[in-house]
Structure 1
Amino acid sequence: MNEKFSEAWSKMLEKLGSWFDTFILNLPNIIIAIVVFTISVIISRYISKGVSRLLEKTKLQASMRSLLSKIVSITVVLLGLFLVLGILNLSKALNTVLAGAGVVGLAVGLALQGALANTYSGIVLSYIKHIKFGDWIESNGFEGEVIDLDLRSVTLRQPDNNLVFLPNKLVVENPIKNYSTTAQSRVILECGVGYESDLTFVRDLVKKTILENFDSIENKEDIIFLYEEFGDSSINFETRFWIKSTSALEVAKAKTTAMIAVKKAFDDNGINIPFPIRTLDLPQKLKIVSGKEDEK
């Protein structure tokens, strides 16, 4: 038993000795590798700060600037790591790491397919000019002001002050209506008047009323008035005019103002806004028989 223990102990010492000899022989390479890796980490920090400062001059969102600077920093550190593996003559380990990284990357990509799609879409949205902070947009059935854009979603503030978070992937793949691409927005008001109304007078009255209530309209020619159809109970018309705003909320407010003003003008001039009614035309010789007479 003692002989076996002594033999094992001697083999262990021999192995440790060989490791120590290898360590001493490779000590210069180890020191150089540590220095190279330390320098790469320091350089990555300075490069990251430099890239961040350069990106501040662009129109990219803050989250995108941070992401790109981190990607550059990680790239520099990885280059330093590869140099360290080469200095230490660990080419086989390097090949193993690269092969493992490929397999792990494929597995992670499949598992996080949705998240990666949103991340990529967020980067795309940061570069295009169709959406930026403060724009009033409509997408995927939601409408509001863009207040944030990160790697996961676009945040909208709706007219009722609620927040909606739209995944970037849905925003990129679906149509976007941006109300802020022009300096003006069109207001459309639909209404109807009775068949007894003077249509020329109604048209002039509506134009005059809108002109008096909106300072952004300079003359009546800027107001479009169109009769649309002879409806079941009214002659329907549509009025269009422009306001100096790109916010859908301001458009709704302008439409409300126009409705109140037009209704008051119609009331003051005796113009009727009819609602659907049903008229029963009974024959003059119609005889109504009561139930008692039926029994007789």
Structure 2
Amino acid sequence: MISLYFLKGFNLNESIKGIWSKLLGWLDALILNLPNFVLAALVFVLFIVVAKYTAKIIDRILRKKGSQDSIRQITTKVVKVVVILIGFFFALGLLNLDKVLTSILAGAGVVGLAIGLALQGTLNNTFSGVILSFLPEIQIGDWVETNGYSGEVTEITLRNIVIRGSDNNYVVIPNSKIVDEPFKNFTSTKRSRVMLNCGVGYSSDLEFVQKLTIDTLSELFPPRGNEEVEFMYTEFGDSSINFVARFWTDVSKNRDILIANNKAIIAVKKAFDKNNINIPFPIRTIDFTNQLSINNPSKQD
């Protein structure tokens, strides 16, 4: 009974007419707005092309100014995105989709909040990468020590920093680790002080040793400006009187310090040998005298 009533109330012809009229309305709207669609598409494509060439121009300007690669890469990417977004908004305006644009922006805010909560670590690395790219204290080509690793900075991206160590292996460190942890940059200063530790025998003339060491290092590594070779005795050791000598040299990486220390050790050793100054080494004396009663018959009962 219900099925018959439903069939009587259902008019197939009227439904088809309604659908057809709706489709015709959409077709009319499409035809009327076709010029706007074409114009919006052309504007969007034009902005993509403009973004491409604008990024190239900015890249050339930054190259002439000597900006590092990481700054150029991030700047060109940001410029591309901004110009393309402007073109997208212009296209929506030509289509009279201002309400849609408002809805998109509102939805983007909600989605951005959700994505930000879900990707806190990734976004932290991204913002840290932006900071590192514009940070003058660390640049591509610098030799740094950080997070237990040392090497030359070969790449700074929005996610991580790549370091090539002295063993020619690459280490990838997240940007947030670099920003949160202290790092040492050997390249940021052209001159560094190198420490040389040594010791001389107790019978040595300490004042003569001091003067000889300072003269030897000053001749090998001439001081500049207010620099000077410093010499201080540090302790009475087990077999020697120990001292530390500090001198200045050109340093751009950790290897330069090793080379300077190597030269200093050779020069000081030759100077000490020439002047009969002894550099003692620990000596252990073993006493084989056995006082046990089992080996001494006179102490037996």
| Shared fold, TM over 0.5 | yes
Q: 1:140 and 1:65 mapped to 2: Cα distance?
A: 26
Q: TM-score, normalised by structure 2?
A: 0.81
Q: Secondary structure at the match of 2:187?
A: helix
2:123 corresponds to which residue? 116
Asked if 1:272 is matched to 2:287, the reply is no
1:244-266 superposed Cα distances (whole Å, 9 cap, x missing partner): 33322111122122223333444
Counterpart AA for 1:13 = W
1:82-105 superposed Cα distances (whole Å, 9 cap, x missing partner): 233233232332222112211221
1:1-296 correspondence to structure 2 within 5 Å:
5-211=12-218, 214=220, 216=222, 222-277=228-283, 288-290=292-294, 293=297, 296=301
Task: Judge conservation of contact 1:193–1:235 (CA < 8 Å) in 2.
Answer: yes
Q: 1:295 and 1:109 mapped to 2: Cα distance?
A: 88
Q: 2:190 and 2:90 mapped to 1: Cα distance?
A: 55
- Structure 1 residues 99 and 151 mapped into 2: Cα distance closer, same or farther (>3 Å)? same
Q: CA RMSD in A?
A: 3.2
How far is the alpha carbon of 1:189 from its aligned partner?
0.8
Counterpart AA for 2:152 = E
Counterpart AA for 2:92 = L
Q: Which runs of 5+ in 1 are unaligned?
A: none
1:110-141 superposed Cα distances (whole Å, 9 cap, x missing partner): 22222222222222222222122332222233
How far is the alpha carbon of 1:215 from its aligned partner?
5.7
Q: Which runs of 5+ in 2 are unaligned?
A: 1-6
Q: 2:240 and 2:113 mapped to 1: Cα distance?
A: 66
Q: 1:148 and 1:260 mapped to 2: Cα distance?
A: 37
Q: 2:287 and 2:43 mapped to 1: Cα distance?
A: 100
Q: Secondary structure at the match of 1:290?
A: helix
How far is the alpha carbon of 1:168 from its aligned partner?
1.8
Q: 1:222 and 1:35 mapped to 2: Cα distance?
A: 70
Task: Judge conservation of contact 1:136–1:248 (CA < 8 Å) in 2.
Answer: yes
Q: 1:62 and 1:225 mapped to 2: Cα distance?
A: 43
Deviates most, 27-36 or 222-231: 27-36
Q: 1:21 and 1:160 mapped to 2: Cα distance?
A: 71
Task: Judge conservation of contact 2:221–2:248 (CA < 8 Å) in 1.
Answer: no
Q: 1:15 and 1:8 mapped to 2: Cα distance?
A: 11
Matched pairs, number: 290
1:246-289 superposed Cα distances (whole Å, 9 cap, x missing partner): 32211112212222333344445443333445668999xx9652
